[in-house]
Amino acid sequence: MPFDWQKKYCERVGHMYGSMTRKLMHLIADPDVISFGGGLPASDLFPLERVKQVVDDTLESDGAAILQYGTSEGYGPLRRAVAERYVQRGFDITDENVLVTSGAQQGIDLVSKILIDKGDAVLVEDPTFLTALQAFSLFQARYLTVPVDGEGMRVDLLPEILRDNDVKFIYVMPNFQNPSGVTISLERRKELLKTAQQYGVPILEDDPYGELRYSGEALPTLKELDDGEQVMYLSSFSKVLSPGMRVCALIAPDEVMGKLVFAKQAADLHTDNLAQRIVYGFLERDFLDPHIQVIINSYRRRRDAMLEAMDRHFPAEVSWTKPDGGIFLWVTLPEGMDAMDLFERAVRAKVAYVPGSCYYANGGGDNKMRLNFSASDEERIELGIQRLAKVIETNMG
């Protein structure tokens, strides 16, 4: 008789959120489908030769230590290199403020673990990063949402929400947000921080794309603007180097580090040593910044190709964001059109995207869709946008 697991699951299992996208993504395994659905970096740009070089050297010089247990805080030289990089950018930190995590996703999980009790409120942008919601939901968070417009989070709405609710923390992606591609203006960043300080609410700033800017001026991060030890900052190496390595730096105030390190130890003891050595090698040898420039040049062309193709092919009733960086843009279909309904037709027409409603913590966004421009070359972008335009037009009748 098979065992009845159902009666053993805990409440958390009832909060498994957004498996929808896993199902959708399985639909598009067909290589003929041009997928704007994922969030993948361009595979053809990976600096494979330099990775090999670093791996060879580091296994030669440091092999036994790489194969042995490491420390939960992360590889010391990597923590120092990350700290130096961010001190140069204006962060007031030392290596003791750097925790190496297995991707930003783990950083989000660990922060949740030390801050969220069942039923606690987390404030997120509307829309926001889906996989962050999946992590928060497993800790049984509830969501308060603030809409995003062309200048990012509507921070003018914050004071009322923070006054009326006990918010555990604010999760925000200020640069080229996933999914919308929108960037929070400098004025709003200052306002966000001021309001958070006034109401005593910590901020988790997720910045995977901050260094991938193709136009406009770089803006200071919330962490740089913070003088109150209130911001935790996630600096993933997934988009600027390689997501397959799962390495991120979680930069956090002194007081909170001990708790995060304990949670990290209980979660997986430490992050893979060789992956940490590779990232360190890229920083130490100054391989990273030249590589970021290569990515920027390519992604800028892809972004422009997608924007131009949309200008040419999309009906006048459709609008979209024009991001200054990152890897996504955000499409608004005519009111009443449902991007989830459209999805199967799109896949039949050999093009895919993620329906926008996946990114709304408390529902909404039915007529939105997220498009990725980093993983397809210009030719496939043109063809895919043509296909998608036809699907939308047909649906408009």
> Which residues, 125 to 184, sit near a copy of itself by CB under 8 A?
131, 134-135, 138, 168-169
CB of 344 to a copy of itself, least distance (A): 23
Q: Which of 105, 145, 321, 367 binds a copy of itself (CB under 8 A)?
A: 105
Helix (H), strand (E) at residue 336? none
Residue of the chain from 20, 55, 225, 340 that contacts a copy of itself (CB under 8 A):
55
Tell me the number of residues near a copy of itself by CB under 8 A.
83
108 versus 389: smaller Cβ distance to a copy of itself: 108
Q: Which of 41, 210, 355, 384 contacts a copy of itself by CB under 8 A?
A: 41
| Binding to a copy of itself in span 231-290, by CB under 8 A | 238, 242-246, 253, 255-256, 259, 262-263, 265-275
Residues numbered 14-33 forming contacts with a copy of itself, rule: CB under 8 A:
16, 19, 22
Helix, strand and coil percent figures for the chain, each rounded to 5: 50, 15, 35
Q: Pull the structure tokens for residue 67.
A: 């194969």
Looking at 79, 113, 213, 350, which residue binds a copy of itself (CB under 8 A)? 113
Q: Of 114-122, 175-183, 306-314, 365-373, which part binds a copy of itself (CB under 8 A)? A: 114-122
Per DSSP, the three-state class of 340 is helix
Contact region with a copy of itself (CB under 8 A), list: 102-110, 143-151, 289-297, 356-364: 102-110
Strands, E, within the chain: which ranges? 34-35, 98-101, 121-126, 142-149, 152-153, 167-172, 203-206, 231-236, 248-251, 319-320, 328-332, 351-352, 354-355, 368-372
Judged by CB under 8 A, the stretch of 67-75, 155-163, 180-188, 311-319 that binds a copy of itself is 67-75
Cα torsion 46, 48, 53, 58 to 10°: value is 70
HSE-up (13 A, CA, CB side) for residue 8: 3
- What are residue 180's phi and psi, to 5 degrees? -85, -20
Residues with Cβ within 8 Å of residue 119, at least 6 apart in sequence: 140, 141, 142
Q: Which is nearer to a copy of itself, 105 or 357 (CB)?
A: 105
Is 222 in contact with 203 (CB distance < 8 Å)?
yes
User: CB of residue 1 vs a copy of itself: minimum separation in angstroms?
Assistant: 7
What b/e string do you get for 227-265 counting C-beta neighbours within 10 Å, with b at 16 or more?
eeebbbbbbbbbbbbbbebbbbbbbbbeebbeebbebbe
- Chain positions 188 to 207 lying near a copy of itself, rule: CB under 8 A, are 200, 202
Q: Which one of 106-114, 121-129, 181-189, 381-389 is the stretch in contact with a copy of itself (CB under 8 A)? A: 106-114
Which is nearer to a copy of itself, 10 or 316 (by Cβ)?
10
Residues 35, 352: contact at Cβ < 8 Å?
yes
According to CB under 8 A, which residues from 348 to 377 bind a copy of itself? none
Q: Of 67, 33, 63, 47, whose CA–CA distance to 282 is shortest?
A: 47
Toward a copy of itself, which CB reaches closer, 46 or 393? 46
For residue 128, give every residue at least 6 positions away whose Cβ sits within 8 Å of its Cβ, in sequence order, or none. Answer: 145, 171, 173, 177, 179, 359, 361
* Residue 118 contacts a copy of itself per CB under 8 A: yes
Stretch of 36-44, 211-219, 336-344, 385-393 contacting a copy of itself, by CB under 8 A: 36-44
Complex with a copy of itself: residue 262 or 334, whichever CB lies closer: 262
Instruction: Report the residue from 27, 51, 292, 296 that binds a copy of itself according to the rule CB under 8 A.
Output: 51
CB of 260 to a copy of itself, least distance (A): 10
Least CB distance to a copy of itself at residue 326 (A): 16
Instruction: Look at residues 71, 86, 43, 37 and name the one whose alpha carbon lies nearest to residue 243.
Output: 43
Q: Which of 95, 120, 224, 393 binds a copy of itself (CB under 8 A)?
A: 120
Q: Which is nearer to a copy of itself, 63 or 147 (CB)?
A: 63
Smaller CB separation from a copy of itself, 256 or 392: 256
- With contact defined as beta carbons under 8 Å apart, do 116 and 142 qualify? no
| Distance from C-alpha of 32 to C-alpha of 341, rounded to nearest angstrom | 21
Least distance (Å) from a copy of itself to the CB of residue 259? 6
